[in-house]
Amino acid sequence: MLNYFDTHAHILDEKFDEDRSDVIQRIYDNMALTVNIGCNFADCPRTVALAEEYEKLYAAVGLHPEDVTTYTEEGWDMLCQLAAHPKVVGIGETGLDYYWDVSTKDAQKRLFQQHIDLACQLNKPLIIHDREAHGDTLDILQHSHARQVGGILHAFSGSIEMMQEVIKLGFYIGLGGAVTFKNARVPVEVAAAVPLERLVLETDCPYLTPVPFRGKRNEPLFVRYTAEKIAEIRGISVEELVEATYQNGKRIYQIK
Ligand code: NI
């Protein structure tokens, strides 16, 4: 078994309600670790509970920028308490999403900053979502304390130049199914150019399913198809790619 590490999964999504225990069993049979990401106030306590139940699952807690309008002070206080749990290894996902709704730009930026403050307070890395907000995301990473804790730019969709800038700041690049898509160009260029010691693998399941299962539900084990594709792009063995990304994932999430 290779040390496959899915650094970004959403196992509590309702698409797993029918067979969640089977999906987790496949993690146990074939993989080293998975970090399950909580995105809203309802899911975060369940994410932590799942990580308490299963040794191979870790948790992250955050309020996704798409859910910014559901913010409440009580919810945030609860999230802060959960964030201190020893199996919570990251803060997020957080960040900016201008694809769905640009009317909440300022609120999203404030919420992002709150996550950065929390991450710094707890010394835990950030899990950053950036969709069509590359300029503002980079600006915040450059001009906040975020670099004190670092983190992962998950499902990275920026340019090579942006990749190089965030690497300079100490961040890691998360790549998933998009590198396997037929028309993928920029993700493939990034997969080839990113320093191996700053790359982590992810699925973002149930979304972004890699080829050959594109269009179907994604799950943590499918990280193997992304690993095979990136190894091919870089001209290295799958074993080397998987082991390097496993070590990187453990380093950024501070997992012993
Ligand atoms: Ni996600």
Residue 205: what pLDDT? Answer: 98
Q: Which two tokens stand for residue 77?
A: 């206080």
pTM over 0.75: yes
| Residue 102, pLDDT above cutoff 90 | no
- Has residue 66 got a pLDDT over 90? yes
The predicted pLDDT at position 28 comes to: 98
CA of 165 to the centre of ligand 1 (A): 22
The CA distances from residue 139 to 33, 62, 68, 206, in Å, are: 32, 21, 20, 30
pLDDT average, residue stretch 237-254? 98
Q: Contact, 191 vs 230, CB < 8 A? A: yes
Q: Is the pLDDT of residue 100 over 90?
A: no
The mean per-residue pLDDT over the stretch 217-242 comes to 98
Ligand 1 centroid–CA 73 distance in Å is 23
> Rounded to the nearest whole angstrom, what is the distance from the C-alpha of residue 126 to the centroid of ligand 1?
13
Ligand 1 centroid – CA 129 distance (Å): 7
The residues near 5 (Cβ < 8 Å, ≥ 6 apart) are 31, 32, 33, 34, 200, 201, 223, 242, 245, 246, 249, 250
Residues with CB under 5 A from ligand 1 (ion): 204
70 within 8 A of 40, measured Cβ to Cβ: yes
Question: Alpha-carbon distance 82 to 78, whole Å?
Answer: 6
- Residues 209-222, mean pLDDT to the nearest whole number: 97
Question: What digits encode the pLDDT tens for the residues 103-155?
Answer: 899 999 999 999 999 999 999 999 999 999 999 999 999 999 999 999 999 99
27, with CB counted inside 10 A (0-12, 13-18, 19+), is buried
| Consecutive H or E run containing 75 | helix 73-83
Distance (Å) from CA 195 to ligand 1 centroid: 23
Angle between helices 43-53 and 73-83 (to 10 degrees): 20
Which secondary-structure segment (H or E) carries 20? helix 20-30
